[in-house]
Every structure is written in structure tokens, then in C-alpha cells.
Structure 1
Amino acid sequence: MALATQLANVQDKFDREAPDQVKRAINNSRSEVSTTFNRGAAIQEGATLPAFHLSNPSGGKTDSADLLAKGPILITFYRGGWCPFCNLALRDLQLNLDAFKAKGITLVAISPELPDQSLSTAEKNELKFIVLSDVGNKFARQLGIVWKQPDTLRPVFKAFGNDLQQHNGDDSFEVPVPCTLLVDQKGVVRNAHMEPDFTKRLDASVALTWADALQ
């Protein structure tokens, strides 16, 4: 099933079953970020990716320079393992992992979650590619893709049992706007996709066509 269809099915179920006050809070927040996100202030195609040195679930650090030494990288930013739309997007990448490897592309997923939470996300989705923790959204902030969620969503998160303070190690209530970047071996962003509406994601098949253009 196509990723877009899976995402739409999750949204349809939410629209049918969620209490009105929950739908109102989430829909208002989606509208807010969609209208206020400044794409022009975010990293652009042709820009050099800032270097990163992020924690991995093994307790170590992963450097962008080490990854780029092996070839191009495809980076996807996700909000957290608590987000059903993120999980579907991550699984879509996993299903296409062999195709990316065949093109010499290393996949990297980044979220603000603590390393142990990132490990849980990787295990839950059976991910066999790199998952890193951008604690405090420091790297995402360099790229201009951080969104501070409205406080009206706090009771919604609580109702769903999603404690972002526990997941992320802080109470900033900030998440990255879902973003996918293809970075060539020189560290230049060749393609960038940012979608402030978190119910919509880039299909892995599109990213694979990006990779073809690098050849």
C-alpha cells in the first residue's frame, strides 16, 4: 500500500473516532504550523549541511563527516516514535532500504528523542538504518525547522499518554517539522522536502529519484 494511502487511512480513522475537542486542538495546530512555518528561513537546496555530532542508541556519537566519507546521505527528521505518521514514513524508508543501498545512499533518521527512546523507535519499526538523537533540537534549529507546539496540545498529549518531557528530556514541547534532505558526498544539500502538515510525508520512491540524479 502506498505511503500516502496509509497516512490518509490514519487521518480518516482520527477524523471518525477522535473526540471533538481533540480534533479541534490538533487541527488548529496543523493549521497554525502550516501558515506560520517560514520555508525561506530553513536550509535551502545548494547550501552546505552544517556538521553534526549526534548521539546514537548504542551510547556513542555519530559524525556527519564519517557518514559523508562513505557517500551521499539521506536525512529524515521525524517528530518521535509516538507519532503514527512518523512511524509510517520510517517504515516506508525501511522497505526501500536495499534500493537506497544499491545507489550508495546512507539513510539517517533524526528526532529530538533521547537515545533510549530512539532505540525503542528503531526496534518497534524494525529499522536497519541509522537513528540519531538531536536532543534539544539543536541541529534542527540550525536548519530552521523547529516548531514550538502550542500549549493547547499539552492536554491532548497527556490524554494519549505521550509524555514529551520523558521522551525528549526537556519540556520545550518543540518538534522538528518533518523534513527530508539528500546530501551529496561534498556535504551539499541537493534536494530538500519540508512539509509543515505532519500528516503528509515524502514517499521513499521520490527520494530514490533524487538519488538517481546524483549518478
Structure 2
Amino acid sequence: FAQLRAAVTGLSLGNSRVLPGLVLRRDFAAYFPMGGDLRAVLVTEPLRPAFSGPGVEFLVNSQGQYEASLRWVAGRTEAVMEHLQSNNVKLLLSSVKQDEAVICSAKAYGVSVVECLSSDDIALLSEITGVSPYVPFGDNIHGEITDIAVATFCQPLLLGSERCVHIGFTSVCDFVPHCLILCGPVAGVNEQHSEALEGAFTMLQQLFKTVDQ
């Protein structure tokens, strides 16, 4: 329920509404308006490779080695972005903050980016779309990406003073997501209304389970 509601303070309850799709409480790191369907990937790791793995110390013996390492990282990052472009990916939904080099490359390729999504957001997106997160540094970064979701729309949404992302997918399961925009004059009122609605939905869920049995 937490991923399917968004509370907005400073507005009357009458401004509350239900929107199709999901509202992600993050702003775009890069945004390109596009009509029609968008091919999207879920990302749970940096697309710019690190010099070394966790717990491994990276040592260089000269300025030349350091510069060569930087060129390798830049080349690898560019290869990943080219791989995404060759698969016509136009939207990255990332649970981690991406390096500025990735954002710049995404802008150059016309790819929209939403980063710092919660693990719950990624899990819900994966459940709705049926895709797993993209692995950028696997054995083959030149082949077809099979885990691609198709977004029917993706656009900015302003909730009060907060910039969010409003996105919709064709669901692969029976669940068709909608998001409740719950407005109230103060946070406490919103919380009361939210708890009441969650309780009502829980009761209805139990009622339907009883009927099905």
C-alpha cells in the first residue's frame, strides 16, 4: 500500500485523486519527453564500473597507469550505454545513484534516468513488468537485452512542491496498479486518512478471501 499512495500536505482533501500507474517519489536525473511506448530497464548497480571490487584495494604505480585505468572505465561505461541504445532503451530506473558520467552519456543518447529508487519500488516494478534488473557487466554486453519493460507513459508530476515521476506499464499479472494521491492540510490528517484507508482495504481483502473459500 505504501508504494501505491502519495501524501500531499497543504491541500484540501477534495484535491485527492486516483491516478493510473505508479508515482515514484523521485525526480528525473535526465528527462526527454517522448510519445508512445518506452523501452525501460531496471538497474540495481552502477553503470560506471569501479576500479576494484568491495574490500579490494586499487593501487597504481604511475600517472600513466592511472590515466589508462580512467580510459578503461570511460570506455566500459560508453560500451554499456551503446548496448542500451542498440536495444532502443529510452528509460533507466535505478535503485542506486549513477555517476555523473553515466548521466551525461544518457543525456547524449536521449535516455531518461530516474535514480535512487527504493528496493520496494524496484521489487514492485519487477512484479508488475515481469523483468529482472539489467546486469551491465555480464559476459555479453553486445547481445539482445531480454529483460526490457515497456512503459506506456512516463512524465514529470508535481505534488505540491515535490517533483515526482508518473509512470505506467502494461501489467503482466492480474494486478493493474493505480496510485492514490491523498491530500490534506497537515501531515497528521493525511496519516489518519491513510491508516483508515489501509484498514478498509485490508478488511475488503479478507472479505474477498472468505468469499473465494
Higher-RCO chain (CA-CA 8 Å, sequence separation at least 6) = 2
Which has more radius of gyration?
2
Instruction: Please classify the TM superposition score into its range, dividing by the shorter chain length.
Output: under 0.3
The answer to which structure has the higher strand fraction is 2
The answer to which structure has the higher helix fraction is 1
TM score, norm. by length of structure 2: 0.26
TM score, norm. by length of structure 1: 0.25
